[in-house]
Structure 1
């Protein structure tokens, strides 16, 4: 196993599994994190698994500390967590907004806070989060979701300013729509025709995480599909 450790959060989901596999192929020792043990069980052999809900800041810190102690100090953090809800601004509920913020930006902040001390000691590190096009451009009918992803986009830009001087890169990808079974159940075929596959998105994420993207930090990389 490589001494370069990559943590993939949301590894029980479709995108997370592809990212974990790609990073393992790239030579990292990969640890997959997800609250779903069933999802983690679908990871490829050789990828380590840790279960926990990282929207809780205490859990996020304890999981990162555990991984660092048992596997090694993390060189890469990829956070693929995300929650989605449809609805316009006038019908958004407090529960909608709270969920979109807790999952889409809260977990990103708690995970970053937990992993950065290890990267600071190493003087290097790479963090990649998954934003979305509605977090960059106003999108009618996705009010609460847009708020959560917009907050994540701004967080990435702030983290870049704060961490780049310490050798830590922070970037994000911003897909418009990912081709997943769940999204196919929401959207008509003509919309899904322009989605991006999780395999393709995982390749972009792995690029941002790896050494080939060493000059890149603070980027919100569009991945809008065809």
Structure 2
């Protein structure tokens, strides 16, 4: 059996698409997310759902130990987990700031920290993070744009740090994703231009695979027409 792909935020719209893309490529998947019915529904012979608080270092370490217990090696981490908060400077409070820092940044740090030695032990592999267009340029909601910008820089720093261990680190940067939640506010034109989770998942799989061997430290736009 090939080494496994760990997907955080696996029960969300993009996470489910990433899980499905790797299953289509005959890769076993460890699916990490908050416990609940949406996560449980992913269970299959080649998908192992693991409930975890991705913002807590000890909880993430325990989840990766459970992956080890399944007898799965790990050569890929896809850190999809993240959140969104609207508002500008006047709207920020302490709770909101710390929540989005934990959800968007700490979750990636803890997952990468747990995954990196395992990927190195497998002979190398890939980490793919999920940033955002608003973390790179243009108008943005303050906390979302700032925390996603931190993910971008984290990706670049990890690419340098982990290169000697044969671990490549890249990010995909969505704009508007065509999800049920986003459909609640998008008009018909915006919905037509939004990028499907399945299309982004294919880019994630490419960045994780051998054809992307020369690529590390890249921030890859997946904006489509959105």
Contact 1:12 1:36 in 2 (8 A): no
Q: Does 1:6 align with 2:5?
A: yes
Give me the whole-angstrom Cα distance separating, in 2, the residues matched to 1:8 and 1:125.
14
The residue number in structure 1 matching 2:149 is 150
TM-score, normalised to structure 1, is: 0.94
Unaligned 5+ segments in structure 1 are none
Give the superposition deviation at 1:44. 6.0
Unaligned 5+ segments in structure 2 are none
Give me the whole-angstrom Cα distance separating, in 1, the residues matched to 2:71 and 2:135.
34
SS class of match (1:193): helix
Q: How does 1:184-199 map to 2 (within 5 A)?
A: 184-199=183-198
The residue number in structure 1 matching 2:126 is 126
SS class of match (1:170): strand
TM-score, normalised to structure 2, is: 0.94
Coordinate RMSD, CA, aligned = 1.5
SS class of match (1:65): helix
What CA deviation, in whole Å up to 9, does each residue of 1:49-73 have, x standing for no partner?
A: 1111111111111111220232322
Q: Does 1:78 align with 2:78?
A: yes
What CA deviation, in whole Å up to 9, does each residue of 1:168-207 have, x standing for no partner?
A: 0111100011111111223333333321101111111111
The residue number in structure 2 matching 1:96 is 96
Give the superposition deviation at 1:91. 2.0
What CA deviation, in whole Å up to 9, does each residue of 1:137-189 have, x standing for no partner?
A: 1424x001111101111100000010012100111100011111111223333
Give me the whole-angstrom Cα distance separating, in 1, the residues matched to 2:44 and 2:118.
26
Give me the whole-angstrom Cα distance separating, in 1, the residues matched to 2:195 and 2:122.
34
Count of aligned pairs between the two proteins:
224
Give the superposition deviation at 1:130. 0.7
